[in-house]
Amino acid sequence: MFVRVPLLVQLVFKRRIWRGEDKNTVHLTFDDGPDPDTTPWVLGLLKKENVKATFFCIGKNIEENPLIFKQIIDHGHAIGNHTYNHEKGTESKTADYLKSIQRTDDLHVADLFRPPYGRAKFGQVNRILLLGKQIIMWTWNSQDYKKEIGPDEIVKNANKITGRDILLFHNSAKSNLSMQESLPRVIEIVKQKGLKFSVL
């Protein structure tokens, strides 16, 4: 998995949104929450740093953590659909995949959608776009879920961040320690570059 997604990949899958439009802005995103052990810490840091982010939430986690989900919204962050059970589209029947998206929309309607693992079939993409959703990907991946990649390496890779980038972090138990150690430093680097944070 690349830290930076190659331009060729972005061109091949051009119906998905890979970058923002403002060269002076980056977009911080989080997948897989809300999580009771991780999300409150993230919200506290973002409030302290005056940063708004976009949270791609799993429907099951919304149901299990409704108060934390409400806090995300109350703090002024944007919400995206990330399916109900974090299904991999390429291993799911299209009808089941769409039901998972709808089940999450029944909890909170979102115009933004991010396929778990970044994987979805051609037909699934067609149907998702017909629902009026934007399929949001990323250009810079922290890879905070990988044990072999420590916080220092994530911070080092943050030097490659440029304007219009969509940054991918996770607010989940699996990535919690690495994310907590690296995220404050990544935010500092982005600010030092003179870039602003904005929701999608």
Q: Is the pLDDT of residue 1 over 70?
A: no
Helix H or strand E encompassing 71: helix 66-74
Annotation marks residue 165 as catalytic: no
Residue 187 lies in a domain: yes
Reported as a pLDDT band with limits 50, 70 and 90, residue 74 is very high
Residues 27, 31, 35, 77: which is the catalytic one?
Answer: 31
H or E, element range at 122: helix 122-130
Instruction: Give the count of beta carbons closer than 10 Å to the beta carbon of residue 12.
Output: 9
pTM of the model: 0.96
CA distance 84 to 64: 12
The string of pLDDT tens digits covering residues 115-146 is: 999 999 999 999 999 999 999 999 999 999 99
Residue 134 phi/psi, 5-degree rounding, is: -95, 135
95, containing H or E segment? helix 94-105
Q: Is residue 2 part of a domain?
A: no
Mean pLDDT (the chain) is 97
Give domain status of residue 107, yes or no: yes
Residue 174: give its domain's CATH number. Answer: 3.20.20.370
- Give the rounded percent of residues in the chain with a pLDDT score beyond 90: 95
Residue 61 lies in a domain: yes
Beta bridge partners of 140: 4, 167
- 1 in any annotated domain: no
pLDDT of residue 124: 98
31 is catalytic: yes
Q: What is the pLDDT of residues 22-73, one digit of tens each?
A: 999 999 999 999 999 999 999 999 999 999 999 999 999 999 999 999 999 9
The stretch 154-167 carries a mean pLDDT of 97
In a domain, 109, yes or no: yes
pLDDT of residue 90: 96
DSSP 6-63: -HHHHHHTTTSB-S-S-TTEEEEEEES---TTTHHHHHHHHHHHT---EEEE-HHHHH
Q: Which of 27, 77, 82, 170 is catalytic?
A: 170
User: Residue 139 falls within a domain, yes or no?
Assistant: yes
Gap between the Cα atoms of 132 and 128, Å rounded: 7
Q: Range of 192's domain? A: 7-197
* Torsion sign across C-alpha atoms 19, 21, 24, 27: negative
Total domains, the chain: 1
